[in-house]
Amino acid sequence: MSQNEFESHNVPHAHSSSPPPGLDSVRKSLVFRLIAAMLMIAAVATLIGIFALWPNNERSEEIQRNAEDIALTSDLLKATVHEASESICGYSISSEVEMCRNVTVVVQEGLESGSLVVLPEVNTSFDPTFPQLAAGDNVILGFDSVTNSYYYQDRDRMSSLWWLILLFAVTVICLARVRGLLALFAMGGTVLMLVKFIAPSVLDGNDPVLVCVVAAAAIAYFSLYFTHGFSLMTTVALAGTLIALGLTLGISWIFFELAKFSGYSSEEAFVLPFLAESLDVRGLLLGGTIIAALGALDDVTVTQAATVLELSARNNELSTRQLMISGLRVGREHIASTVNTLLLAYAGSSIPLLLLFAVSEQSLGDVANSELIAIELVRTLCGSIGLVAALPITTYLAALLMRADK
C-alpha cells in the first residue's frame, strides 16, 4: 500500500454516520430547552390549579355541623390517672361474675383543671380495648357536652412521639447535614400541603383526583428543588417524576374503571358521605394512589439522575449510550428492591386482615377479588409500573443531557 493510499484510508470520510460535535451539542441543547419548557408549563398549570382549587371554607360550617351530628367531634383534654382499680361490676350482662375497671383522674386542662373526676366504670369483658391503667399514666379524656360528663378517649403518647421525631431529625441531619435539614423542611411542606390544601379542598367539593394531581405536582417541585437545589440533576429528576406520575395516573384510572371499585371498602368511606354528600369516594382512592406513588418516584428519579451524573463526572469520556447502560444496570437493582418494598409496606399494614382471611378458608383468588385487597393490589401494581417506567425515562434524559456542552 502506497503512502497516499495509506493516508487516504485513515482520513475520516465526510459521509460518516456520527454526527458532527457541534450538531450533537445543538440537539442536546434543544432537548434541554424542551424539557425546561415542559417544566415551566407544568409549573404554571400547577400554580393555576392551586389558586383555583384552594379551599374557600364555604361549606366548613355545614361540614362541622354534620361532624357534630354523628359525634365525630369532641373536646379532648389531657389528664393524669390518680387511681385505678378493679371490682365486681355494679351491673352484669350475663349470669357470671364480671369485673369492671374504675379509674379516677386529675384533669389537666379545661374549666375543671386540677379537679378529680371519676370515669364511668368499664366492663372489661364487654370492652376489652380499655387499657390496664395505673396511677401516673397520662391519658386523653373526651367531654360530652350533652351529658356534661368525661370519658376515656386514649392514652397521651405525644411525649414519646416527640422524642422519636427528635431522634429522627438528629439522625437525618447528622448523616445528610445541610441536605438532611432541607429534606426535613421539605417534609414539613408536604405535611402542610396534605393538611391545609388536599383535605379542605376535597371537603369543599372539588374533584379529589384533580386536587391530588395538583398537590402531587406542587410537592414534587417544592421538595426536589428545595432539597437538592436548582441543578441539571434536579431538573432531570423532576421531569422523570412528572412523566412517570402522568403514566401512573393513566394506568390507575383505566384499571380502577375496569375493576369497578365502589369505594366503600373501609369504615371511613361510609362516614365521609355524611360529612359532604357530594364527596367522590372513588375519586379519593385514585387520588390517594397518585400521592402514594409520588414518594417512591422521587426516590427512583433522584437516584438515577445522581448516578448518571456521578458516572459522567468520574469518566467524561463515556458516551450517552454507555452512561445509559451503566445507569440502567444500577437502576434495575434499585427497582427490584423498591417494588418488593411497596408490596411489603402494604402487606405489613394489613396483617390483621390477612389473618382473618387465613381462617376464612377462602382461596387466594377469592381473597384477591375482595375489594379491600383488590384496591391495594391495583395501587401496588400501578405504582410499580410507574416506577419501572421512571427508570429508563430518567436515565435516558440524564445520559443525554450530561453529555451536552455546559
Q: What is the CATH number of the domain that holds 149?
A: 2.40.50
For the beta carbon of residue 256, count every other beta carbon within 10 angstroms: 21
pLDDT (0 to 100) of residue 379: 86
Residues in the chain: 406
Domain count, the chain: 2
What are the two backbone dihedrals, phi and then psi, of residue 253, each rounded to the nearest 5 degrees? Answer: -60, -45
pLDDT (0 to 100) of residue 258: 92
Do the domain assignments include residue 358?
A: yes
Do the domain assignments include residue 117?
A: yes
Whole-structure pTM over 0.85, yes or no? no
Do the domain assignments include residue 242?
A: yes
pLDDT along the chain (406 residues), means of 10: 43 44 64 88 96 82 70 83 86 70 91 89 77 91 83 92 95 92 93 92 90 95 92 92 94 92 77 77 89 87 90 84 88 78 70 74 78 84 89 89 59
CA distance to 307, 320, 392, per residue, from 334 (Å): 11, 21, 12
Instruction: Tell me if 222 sits within 8 A of 294, measured CB to CB.
Output: no
Query: In the structure grid, which three cell numbers stand for residue 340, read together?
Result: 418488593
Query: Is the domain of 227 the same as that of 334?
Result: yes
> Running DSSP on this structure, what letter comes out for residue 102?
E
What Rg do the C-alpha atoms of the chain give, in angstroms? Answer: 29
Query: In the structure grid, which three cell numbers stand for residue 37, read together?
Result: 419548557
Do the domain assignments include residue 104?
A: yes
Query: Is the domain of 79 the same as that of 51?
Result: no
pLDDT (0 to 100) of residue 63: 72
* Structural domain boundaries, residue 130: 74-156
Query: Is the domain of 316 the same as that of 226?
Result: yes
Instruction: Tell me if 233 sits within 8 A of 309, measured CB to CB.
Output: yes
Query: Is the domain of 304 the same as that of 182?
Result: yes
**Quick one: how many helices (H) and strands (E) in the chain?**
14, 6
**Helical spans, DSSP H, in 232-280:** 232-259, 267-275
Among 341, 332, 314, residue whose Cα is nearest residue 392: 332
Query: Is the domain of 149 the same as that of 187?
Result: no
pLDDT (0 to 100) of residue 273: 76
Do the domain assignments include residue 322?
A: yes
Among 178, 384, 366, 353, residue whose Cα is nearest residue 289: 384
Q: Using alpha carbons only, give the angle 260, 361, 364 rounded to the nearest 5 degrees.
A: 45
Query: Is the domain of 29 the same as that of 147?
Result: no
Q: For residue 249, give every residue at least 6 positions away whose Cβ sits within 8 Å of its Cβ, in sequence order, or none.
A: 213, 286, 290
Query: Is the domain of 283 the same as that of 376?
Result: yes
pLDDT (0 to 100) of residue 346: 66
pLDDT (0 to 100) of residue 394: 92
Query: Is the domain of 297 the same as that of 220?
Result: yes
Do the domain assignments include residue 292?
A: yes
